[in-house]
Amino acid sequence: MVTENYSMRLDAERRRKLQSIATKQDRDLAYIIRKAIDEYIERHGDE
């Protein structure tokens, strides 16, 4: 799979919450964000 970089801005509270989830799951922040995007696509991909 070819990947591309994408930049986005998060407010401090969202960033903190995502980082907390990543830490609890022993994952990096990028992994958590990719999984969230995957779930969103799965839920809304056929609209």
Please count the other Cβ atoms lying within 10 Å of the Cβ belonging to residue 40.
10
- What span, in angstroms and rounded, lies between the C-alpha atoms of 23 and 18? 9
State residue 45's pLDDT score.
Answer: 87
- Domain positions in the chain: 12-44
State residue 23's pLDDT score.
Answer: 98
Q: What does each of the 47 residues of the chain score in pLDDT, given as a tens digit?
A: 898 999 999 999 999 999 999 999 999 999 999 999 999 999 998 87
State residue 38's pLDDT score.
Answer: 96
State residue 1's pLDDT score.
Answer: 84
